[in-house]
C-alpha cells in the first residue's frame, strides 16, 4: 500500500518493514515486539509507534480509481487477500501500543 504513497518514500525501508510487521502482529493478536525482534531489526517498539499509526490510517483510505493496481493484486487469494484486511480501531491500537 505504501508503494502508491509518496509520504512513505522518505522512510527507511527497514523501519517501514518493521512497522508493518508490528502492525500485522498486533492486528492478528500474535504478540508484541519481542526482544529478539528488537535486536535483529534495530528498532524498539516505541520508535515504530508513529509509523504504525500512520500505516493503520492508510488502510482506511478508499483506493483512487487511477491507483488501484497494487490493491487489486493483493486482494487476490494467491496473496491471502491482505489488501482486504480491516484496519484496527484507532483507540484499540493506541491502547495496545501504550502497553508495548
Q: Return d(Cα 23, Cα 53) in angstroms, integer.
A: 8
So what's the pLDDT on residue 66? 67
C-alpha cell, 27? 492486528
| Residues of the domain holding 70 | 2-99
CA gap 79, 36 in Å, rounded: 27
pLDDT in tens, the chain (100 residues): 788 788 999 999 999 999 999 999 999 999 889 999 999 999 999 999 999 999 999 888 766 666 778 888 888 999 988 888 888 999 999 999 988 7
- Pull the grid cell for residue 25: 502482529
Task: Give the per-residue pLDDT at 37.
Answer: 97
Q: Is 28 helix (H, G, I), strand (E, B) or coil?
A: coil
What is the per-residue pLDDT for 62? 66
Output the pTM of the full model: 0.85
CATH code for position 9: 1.10.472.10
Number of domains observed in the structure of the chain: 1
What is the per-residue pLDDT for 53? 95
Residue the block writes with cell 516505541: 46
Backbone angles phi, psi at 72, to 5 degrees: -65, -45
Amino acid at each position: 500500500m505504501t508503494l502508491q504513497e509518496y509520504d512513505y518514500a522518505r522512510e527507511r525501508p527497514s523501519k517501514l518493514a518493521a512497522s508493518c510487521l508490528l502492525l500485522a502482529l498486533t492486528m492478528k493478536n500474535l504478540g508484541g515486539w519481542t526482544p529478539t525482534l528488537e535486536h535483529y531489526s534495530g528498532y524498539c517498539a516505541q520508535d515504530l509507534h508513529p509509523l504504525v499509526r500512520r500505516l493503520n490510517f492508510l488502510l482506511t483510505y478508499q483506493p483512487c480509481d487511477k491507483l488501484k493496481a497494487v490493491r487489486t493484486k493483493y486482494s487476490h487469494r494467491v496473496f491471502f487477500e491482505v489488501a482486504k484486511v480491516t484496519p484496527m480501531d484507532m483507540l484499540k491500537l493506541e491502547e495496545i501500543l501504550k502497553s508495548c
